[in-house]
Chains A and B, each alone.
Chain A
Amino acid sequence: MTAAAARAPARDPAWLGRLFWIGAALVVFWPMLVATEFRPWLLFAPDSLKQTRAFASSFFPPAVGAEFLALVARETWRTVAIATAGIALALMLAIPLTLLSTRVLSISALAGRMARIPFALRQTIRALLIVLRSVPELVWALVLVRVVGLGPTAGVLAIALTYGGMLGKVYGEILESGETHTAEALLRNGAGRLQAFFYAVLPANAAELVSYTVYRWECAIRSSVVLGFVGAGGLGQQMDNSMKMFNGSEVATMLLVFIALVALADRASAWFRRALG
């Protein structure tokens, strides 16, 4: 027994490896720390600490004046409205592009390989969707604010463009990963593409398509707040104004309202998706 106890290593047998990995991590992260000007002690420098304390202490109590609350309620509705209108326009963009780009509705692909021109068309539309999606909505908003001016129009268009690409791409993936035999049977028997879509593809995938759309609506609410920071209206713009005036109590109210709004949208979308499923 004493022999067994003596043989048991007193220290971690893998210490050399652990030490090596810690050292390697430090070497990798050192340049990053330099590049990001990572100086946490600056947070605790006396005058920055004083400013932080002043701003943070003005958070409490949150502003609850009747006039201000009415403003917040109006801006919250505008945030939801920007997201909803944006998603509605995104659908108008995404649905036709999905119909054009999905492989499931290709008649020439029934013979094995898709013909060259339809294939090129589908790939072009797919590339367009990817480009639309990969420009962040904030960048669209920054550009559009220059064209249409400050206000909700830029926000709605930015959401419509980014989310149109996103929805179109994912719709295509959903349709292609679902059951395609019924659509194929209809197409082989001479049904048109739209008939095949409405009677075979859509019924099989409707629940998943709607559930993804509702999920994206929830994301759009979150991003419409962010868009407000570049001047696209809604709660974000108001928050930005209050922050610039160091009005902590107003910021606190709006943050609380925003957290509640996100939680509410989350609940609503979960309930909706459960009701469908």
Chain B
Amino acid sequence: MNEAANQPYRLPPRLFNARCTACWMMLAIALLVAASFWTLDLQWRAFFSTEAARSMGRFIGEFFPPDLSPAFLAKVALATAETLAMSALGTVLAAMLGLALALPAARMHEGDRAWARAPTRLLLNALRSIPELVWAALLLISAGLGPFAGTLALACHTTGVLGRLFAEAIENAPPGPAFALRAQGIGPGRVFAYATLPQVLPQLASYTLYRWENNIRAAAVLGVVGAGGLGQLLAFHMGLFHMGKTCTVLGAMLLLVALVDVLSYAARRAMTR
């Protein structure tokens, strides 16, 4: 009855439209995926054959029973403590180094020429984009096998991550208090310590805690290249085909990761409530 009042119904755009960027993107992604599978010479046949299933079953069967003798459990506990110490120390070192590098990487106030900003950010990006495990493999040469190399590797990667986050936090801090002190003629060091730092400290602490959580997970596996902790024990026993011991170490690793997850979830809930 009242048809003229209705807006003419507009169809959605055609599904295949040469100008439709989404279509081209999907096509590009499909091509990338197809090319990946095609060039990788994956051995699915070896993986999905009955023979592979049997060897897999045998392999998993060897994991049981796990080695739960007190002597070995004590060794695993020691390695777990080592993993935790590596992650904590690496994070603390990284927080200190990151803060030291965040200062030149941040523009402290308007009109600050910040000549070191670009080169410091480049350094932080380079530190950040090399994963912990690659750092560990590199540092083994100068620090030797053991947890020290792992700690340094965690510190190197985390310095890059935290330095960048810290620099951003410092740049985004409210400028009022710093301006007030600067107007009184106070030097940049004390302006930072008494005006900017107290404002950003909670944020810096929360970034550091978040990275610590990540670093516990990273430290657990870092040892497979020989950098201490649970990972080293895992690689050692797996290399010698001590499957029962490997199973215990794997269990300890999963327990550690799960515990960290649960604790961080609980802490987050307690703090946001």
Contacts and interface: CB of A to CB of B under 8 A. Distances in A.
Interface of A: 29, 31-33, 35-39, 42-43, 48-49, 51-52, 55, 77-78, 80-82, 84-85, 88, 130, 134-136, 138-139, 142, 146-149, 151-153, 156-157, 222-223, 225-226, 229-230, 236, 239-240, 243, 246, 251, 255, 258-259, 262-263, 272, 275
Nearest to B229: A36
Contacts, number: 156
Contact of B36 (A35, A38, A49, A85): A85
B228 to A, nearest CB: 7
Contacts of A48: 142-144
A147 B56 contact: yes
A105 B268 CA distance: 28
B133 A85 contact: no
A239 to B, nearest CB: 7
Contacts of A32: 85, 88-89
Contacts of A138: 133, 221, 224, 231
A81 B36 contact: yes
B143 A43 contact: yes
A36 B143 contact: no
Given A36-B82, A36-B147, A138-B221, A240 B137 contact: yes
Given A36-B228, A243-B137, A134 B258 contact: yes
Interface of B: 21, 25, 32-33, 35-37, 39-44, 46-47, 52, 55-56, 59, 81-82, 85-86, 88-89, 92, 125-126, 129-131, 133-134, 137-138, 141-144, 146-148, 150-151, 217, 220-221, 224-225, 228, 231, 234-235, 238, 250, 253-254, 257-258, 261
A134 B216 CA distance: 12
Contacts of B238: 142, 146
26 contacts: A29-B92, A35-B85, A36-B82, A37-B148, A42-B144, A42-B148, A77-B39, A81-B36, A84-B33, A85-B37, A88-B36, A136-B253, A139-B221, A146-B59, A147-B52, A148-B52, A149-B46, A153-B40, A153-B42, A156-B42, A222-B129, A222-B131, A229-B134, A229-B225, A243-B137, A258-B129
